[in-house]
Amino acid sequence: MAEASAGSGGLIEALGIDWRLLIIQIIAFTILVALLGKFVYPWLMKSVDERQKNIDEAQRASIEAQSQANKTKLEVEELLDKARKEASEIVATAKDEASEIIVQGEDKARTAAERITKEAHDSLARDVEAVKKELHNETLELIALATEKVVGKTHTKTTDAKIIADSLKEVQ
């Protein structure tokens, strides 16, 4: 066994390792790990946990924002559909009102045309009546002149009118 320990001591010495220095380094490393574990690692883990928490919150906020955006998009689509329907209704109402105004205009024009036509007929009937009276009077005058020339003497107007009226009654 002495050979084994000499051989192992010889192996450590053959590699150029000082066993005292190795033990000091192991103790220093253990102290360093203990100090890091006590002071640095908790602070480092706290920072990592805070970052993870911030990432999780940001992810939740992103999901919430996406959900809100989808909801808003649906609301906008509903509002657009509603606006389109209202616009269609307004256009239809405007067309109906325009048609009604056209019909009213046609009715007014028809009424005005009928009134103008009636007035023209009435005026024409009055003119025809006036012309008939004038023609009748002129006919009476012509007959009176012809009678005067045939008879050769003038009668009074009342006598002439009576004779002419009697003659016309006989002719009719």
d(CA 156, CA 158): 5
The answer to whether the beta carbons of residues 58 and 50 sit under 8 Å apart is no
Residue 102 has pLDDT above 60, yes or no: yes
Kindly report the pTM of this predicted structure.
0.40
Domain residue ranges of the chain, discontinuous segments joined by +: 19-171
Measured between alpha carbons, how far is 30 from 24 in angstroms, rounded to an integer? Answer: 10
Q: Which two tokens stand for residue 102?
A: 């056209």
What is the amino acid identity at position 54? N
- Give the pLDDT band of residue 6 (cuts 50, 70, 90): very low
Can you tell me which residue has the tokens 């209202």? 86
Q: What percent of the chain has pLDDT over 90?
A: 59
DSSP 1: -
Q: Phi, psi at residue 18, to the nearest 5°?
A: -95, 120
Q: Distance of alpha carbon 20 from its chain centroid, rounded?
A: 92
